[in-house]
Amino acid sequence: MLSNPVGVVRTVGTIEGVSALILFFIAMPLKYVAKIPEGEAIVFWVGLVHGILFTLYAAVTFIAWGKGAITAKLVGMAAVASIVPFGPFVIDRKLKAVEPTPDTATASG
């Protein structure tokens, strides 16, 4: 999966999507609903990791576009997906459709 630009986008997108879900459905409820004293630190650190992954997702998406691995339309769809909960998981299906399979990768290269 990490052997091609689309695979990298899919992998980083999945990790970024999981980090968003952890932030929205675990860390933030611990801080704002459960009001635990450590909640602020938890949200800070999970939010920091999520922010780094969000930036990495944007970077690898643009790199894949620059290499011609994905279209501008898919870049736009990935941008929208990155700000919507569960979005990276939805766009993953479209990315998988354009990802070269190991058979086509060895045949062309």
Could you please report the per-residue DSSP string of 91-106?
Answer: HHHHHHHHSPPHHHHH
Query: Percent of the chain scored above 70 by pLDDT?
Result: 94
Are the C-beta atoms of 69 and 86 separated by less than 8 Å?
no
pLDDT of residue 99: 93
pLDDT digits (tens, 9 = 90+) for 94-107: 999 999 987 655 55
Average pLDDT, the chain: 92
pTM of the model: 0.87
Quick one: tokens of 79?
A: 């941008």
Are the C-beta atoms of 9 and 70 separated by less than 8 Å?
yes
- 52 pLDDT above the threshold of 60: yes
Residue 78 CA to residue 94 CA, distance in Å, equals 10
Average pLDDT over residues 11-27: 96
Q: Which residues of 7-19 are buried (b: 16+ CB within 10 A; e: fewer)?
A: bbbbebbebbbeb
